[in-house]
Structures are given as structure tokens and as C-alpha cells.
Amino acid sequence: MSKTWLITGASSGLGRLMTERLLARGDRVVATLRREGVLDELQQAHGERLLVLKLDLTDVAGIREVTRQAFERMERIDVVVSNAGYGLFGAAEELSDEQIDHQIATNLTGSIQLIRAALPHLRAQDGGRIVQVSSEGGQKAYPNFSLYHATKWGIEGFVEATAQDVAPFGIDFIIVEPGPTATDFAAGLVRGAPMSAYDATPAGDVRRALADGSFEIKGDAARTVDAMIAAADAAKPPLRLALGSTAYSGIKQALEERLRMLEAQRDVAFSADVD
């Protein structure tokens, strides 16, 4: 049976590829993007099975209106894919206030408001699924990506709590955590003003690795999207889905290290209880 999907950030990267894959198998897609005309060829090829709507995730009123239009025009949406976002690159003090505000407004607040806008419609239709595209960076952290990580760690906490709120309504979530993947993510990075003070630090190391191409990218975009679709089709998918060997290894190492540090603090933790 065909499904209907709402996908944000569908103009490029994983969102574009997912849109193409789903249309090719006969599903219907509401694709949102900021730049008009990007999906004209797909629109001509697939007609009414593709609805393209303009959306900027920093516009909260726009999120609500576009979500309303999507559900109204398609009558039912089975899967909402919160995919839109970008990376802000630079050590914390290299970033401007405006860059920080925009990163949070897009990746974190925008994703939260999209989910909030979809929930009443999903409840009204007795359920559905929300796929939140996060990153391995929602479980671990790289130098030079502090604000990007802040948004990804933040949205993962929001989703984990909200999933418990809405489970009785037949609404469930998948948090997708890809590792570094061959998309245009790096090209779309917004960069702070580099400070020479960070040249000989881990932040400088990551900056140079991206510049000279030595930052290893193992993830395949097509295989990543195929795994995302398969998980969204599954009867009981996991809450979190790590994709790529880098994501699996990095998240595993980060969790093991946090657990090791927690276990070392057991006596101190228990000592803070009421006697």
C-alpha cells in the first residue's frame, strides 16, 4: 500500500534523494524547501503525487500554515520527515550572535515547531510516524561543531520526551543518526571567523581536515536513505537508528565512556540522597 510523506529540506541531500526514491515506488510526497523551482522536473514527472511547498523553518507561523495545507490537501500523511537543517562550523567564540541564533532557530526550534504543528493532525487521523533526522552528533561531539551539536543533542531530548507523551495516540518516532555522509552538507556549512588562537587546537585540526579532504566520509547517501525508508516502513522501528560504520563506532565509544565515568561516580551520586 502506498504512503504519503511530508519531507522538509527536500531540495538537496538526503531529503532530495528520499523524495526521488519514494516517488519512484509510487508514494505521494509533500516536499518543502526554501528555493522555488528546484523540484520542477520531479513535479512534471510525477504530477499530483508531488506537492511542493515553500517553507523556511525559522518562520514559525509559516511552519503551522504549511503543515496545515499539507494535511488538508493530502487528507492523510503517514510519515513526517523532519530533515531540514545545516551545520554551523567554528569554535564557540568564533561564531557571531546572529549565526548562533539562526542555527538554533533552524535546527532546533524549527524542528520542534514542525513536530508540534504535525501532532494535532496525526492525533486526528489516529496515528502516524515522525522521522527526525539528527546525526551521530546527537550522541557525540566533534571540535568546531559546538552549536550544531547543541541543536542535535537538544532535538534528541525533545523527541525522546515527546515520544512518551504521544505514544497512546499511535504516534511514534525514529531519530536517525547518520555519520559523515557523502552529501552536500560540508558545502553548506556556515563558518565563523577563524581565530589564530585556535590554529594549534583540536578545532584547528578539524578545520584543516575539512579543508584538505582528510576528514573521512564513509557514509553512502543512497544506502542511508534506503535504510531510513526501510525503518519508516517497519512495524516496530527503533527509537534511534545509527547509520554508517562511523556513526556506530563513534556513538558506541561515546556511550561507553559516559557509562564508565558514571559508574566511577556511583558512591558520590548515592551520597547526595536524603539520609
Instruction: Catalogue all structural domains in the chain, each as residue range(s) with its CATH number.
Output: 4-271 (3.40.50.720)
Q: Which of 3, 142, 152, 198 is catalytic?
A: 152
Residue 185 confidence (pLDDT): 67
For 46-138, where are the E strands, in sequence order?
Answer: 50-54, 79-82, 88-89, 128-133
Residue 186 confidence (pLDDT): 66
Q: Which of 134, 135, 146, 198 is catalytic?
A: 134
Q: Which helix (H) or strand (E) holds 255?
A: helix 245-264
pTM comes to 0.93
Q: What is the pLDDT of residues 89-136, one digit of tens each?
A: 999 999 999 999 999 999 999 999 999 999 999 999 999 999 999 999
84 near 9, Cβ under 8 Å? yes
**Residue 152 falls in the annotated catalytic set:** yes
DSSP state of 138: G
Q: Which of 82, 135, 140, 148 is catalytic?
A: 148
Instruction: Enumerate residues 6+ apart whose C-beta is below 8 A from 15.
Output: 7, 8, 9, 31, 81, 83, 84
**Residue-wise pLDDT tens for the chain (275 aa)?**
799 999 999 988 899 999 999 999 999 999 999 888 889 899 899 999 999 999 999 999 999 999 999 999 999 999 999 999 989 999 999 999 999 999 999 999 999 999 999 999 999 999 999 999 999 999 999 999 999 999 999 999 999 999 999 999 999 999 999 987 766 666 678 889 999 999 999 998 888 888 887 777 777 889 999 999 999 999 999 999 999 999 999 999 999 999 999 999 999 999 999 98
Residue linked to cell 561515546: 254
The length of the chain in residues reads 275
Burial 1-11 (b: 16+ CB within 10 A, else e): eebbbbbbbbb
Residue 234 confidence (pLDDT): 96
**Residue 148 falls in the annotated catalytic set:** yes
The three-point CA angle 17-18-22 to 5° equals 120
Query: Which amino acid does the sequence have at 271?
Result: S
